[in-house]
Structure 1
């Protein structure tokens, strides 16, 4: 059976919205059209994907499985489309994603010298899209910060670095040479708790179910603005904290949490020699910087 990507795309929108009207509006189609396409998809797959009642629309077990499989499928199709468009234009572009606080200049210069025929583009990513830019083809490689969903990716470790707590300058812990993660148990974390599992284990607000009183934020700039406003705290890699310095926010080392692991990642389906060339150069640059005298 051939899979119709348009129907899959419609299904994903509906599965994420769980509301036919909102999904149709998001897709810029009429609601009856969406309903017909979903029924046609169910007929093709010979399964029921959704249960629709007067009160709610819910995914069946088959629907949940299709949603898990559909997202990488659509991302892979989009990545192929991007590469085909590039090839049709006669351009050879190599895009490198990187997280805040990470400097890629030395690796890019070395790579450009080795591959002058390529146009190098840089793409700043965030905690929430550092993997998605690889899955949908926006980046050929990406320098990521673990933990990430590594399914379908090749991962090459680059280096580790300590993490620090970002606190308001007048915070009770701001003047300490170091703290322990338990000292932050009563604080609100202004980022995805999965990024700091050590805090998740001891957080009072997660035990009491009050974590939603202030939302989490994606960009470093947003997090630091809210830290300065005393809306919460953030835990950042040292390089990120050093890059985004400001007088009203203070970094404090945390003694008892592990380092942030920085890695190079790319799609496991990519067999390009150019990708491996960049990976080797990036590791050479890191090793050279670590061996250099301070």
Structure 2
């Protein structure tokens, strides 16, 4: 039996898109070329893998079985490539993903530290929500991703980096109107009508709602902002209150000097940020080295925030 990786790659693209034309675009070949490879694969296996319908492609039971095996094979191939690339630790090309509420604050601190360790390292950075980063990681488009833990995936290895506590941010008048003393703000006491949230799907918004014991449909001032900077700008002008991670404090205060912040009561709500990689990916020291650098950068930001905003 002579099944090629190219055939498996084409078949996976076809199974995911359910369309010969779109699958051909994904793998950057012509549609006839892709069709020939799928027919050759079916002939080699002696089974029909897809039903060619007018508007879509439907996998046969044999097609579904092959898809599971093909995805496993491609994961193993990706692991082999990783093993070759990372034989000398943190080197070669690194594809790193970060969630949007971390990337603009941590990267300026972390990238110089990474460069100081290896000037020849090529770094590719992708900023996206957690679900997209984990999908890219699974499919081999990323080597590692920085997300809020736990990721909830048995096929990933997690390394805890640091704890990022949340601050309550708004205008000085709004913060003063809460009437809190040195003991801090209690999340459950917040008025849901004044809470500004990120778009649905951002883990920071989900975490804010969880610590407040609220549902999204209970908040009336839901602007659906896509960036934390937008929320902080609105909060500084008195349009509501928002949750501000410690790592973002210095940047957002510089951008919005009128932004006031206050600590929550103990135990302070926080998120655990961590680095994840595929379990099948070989680790010859690069993952631990990268995690140590990101942890150092994160702790530098949180230490500064805790010094700036005491009780």
TM-score under structure 2 length normalisation: 0.57
Map of 2:217 onto structure 1? 204
Alignment check: 8 A CA contact 1:50 1:57 kept: yes
Alignment check: 8 A CA contact 2:20 2:31 kept: yes
Distance in 2 separating the partners of 1:30 and 1:151: 37
Map of 1:145 onto structure 2? 148
Distance in 2 separating the partners of 1:276 and 1:108: 13
Map of 2:140 onto structure 1? 136
Distance in 2 separating the partners of 1:271 and 1:48: 39
Alignment of 1:84-103 (within 5 A): 92-93=91-92, 95=94, 97=96, 99-100=102-103, 101-102=105-106, 103=109
Map of 2:110 onto structure 1? 104
Q: Provide Cα deviations, 1:116-175, integer angstroms capped at 9, x if missing partner.
A: 7x7345444424464435863754x554333536443321212222346888x7xx9997
Deviation at 1:190, TM superposition (A): 1.4
Distance in 2 separating the partners of 1:225 and 1:143: 22
Which among 183, 199, 221 is matched to residue 192 of structure 2?
Answer: 183
Does residue 272 of structure 1 match 2:284? yes
Structure 2 unmatched ranges of 5 or more? none
Distance in 2 separating the partners of 1:165 and 1:279: 28
Structure 1 unmatched ranges of 5 or more? 206-210
Q: Provide Cα deviations, 1:90-140, integer angstroms capped at 9, x if missing partner.
A: x9437483541324368648x82xxx7x7345444424464435863754x
Map of 2:159 onto structure 1? 156
Q: How many residues align?
A: 274
Does residue 260 of structure 1 match 2:271? yes
Distance in 2 separating the partners of 1:46 and 1:182: 64
Larger radius of gyration: 2
Deviation at 1:272, TM superposition (A): 0.7
Cα separation, partners in 2 of 1:257 and 1:149, compared to 1, 3 Å: same
Distance in 1 separating the partners of 2:17 and 2:300: 49
Deviation at 1:183, TM superposition (A): 1.8
Deviation at 1:22, TM superposition (A): 2.5
Cα separation, partners in 2 of 1:19 and 1:252, compared to 1, 3 Å: farther
TM-score under structure 1 length normalisation: 0.59
Q: Provide Cα deviations, 1:194-231, integer angstroms capped at 9, x if missing partner.
A: 665454982329xxxxx9x97x85xx4xx64588689x
Deviation at 1:270, TM superposition (A): 1.4
Cα separation, partners in 2 of 1:72 and 1:184, compared to 1, 3 Å: farther
Secondary structure of 2:127's partner? Answer: coil
Alignment check: 8 A CA contact 1:165 1:253 kept: yes
Does residue 24 of structure 1 match 2:24? yes
